[in-house]
Amino acid sequence: MKAIVYTSNTGTTKEYAEIIEKKTIIPAYTLDEAEKVLSAGDEVIYLGWLMAGTIKGYKKAKSKYDIKVVCAVGMGGTGTQTAEVRCKNNIPHDTTLFTLQGGFDINKLSGVYKLMMSVMVKTAGK
């Protein structure tokens, strides 16, 4: 495995990537950094946060690298929603998929994401 590649907005996916990096000694890069250091077709572990069921950055990463393992970080419990996430993101059946519980802090969000989640929090509170 050449690298861990990840996309994180508020830091929880980054934390998971760094834990895996420390445990495996495989270097971790953001998707942008990876473009400068990796070559097309390199084998990677990809981690992305879930937004409306979509794994951020997965499509782009898949078009460049040979993704062997995917970790989707969301609000659900670790190990839940795997069938739905696999289906919605068209993850091949021979690719290992983990769902991991991240975190949610509205104060760490900005722009459109903050707006979307403010509406959701208000709606859920009713």
DSSP state of 77: P
Region near ligand FMN per CB under 6 A, out of 20-28, 31-39, 57-65, 108-116: 108-116
Which residue of 20, 28, 44, 73 would you call a contact of ligand FMN, by CB under 6 A? 73
Question: CB under 8 Å to 33, separation ≥6 — which residues?
Answer: none
Cα-Cα-Cα-Cα dihedral sign, residues 82, 87, 91, 94: positive
Q: Does 29 interact with ligand FMN (rule: CB under 6 A)?
A: no
DSSP state of 19: H
Interactions with ligand FMN, residue window 30-49 (CB under 6 A): 49
How far apart are the C-alpha atoms of 90 and 118, rounded to whole Å?
A: 29
Q: Does 57 interact with ligand FMN (rule: CB under 6 A)?
A: no
User: Least distance from C-beta 81 to ligand FMN, angstroms?
Assistant: 7
Question: Cβ–Cβ contacts within 10 Å for residue 58, how many?
Answer: 23
Residues that bind ligand FMN (CB under 6 A): 8-13, 49-53, 73-76, 102-104, 109, 113, 116-117
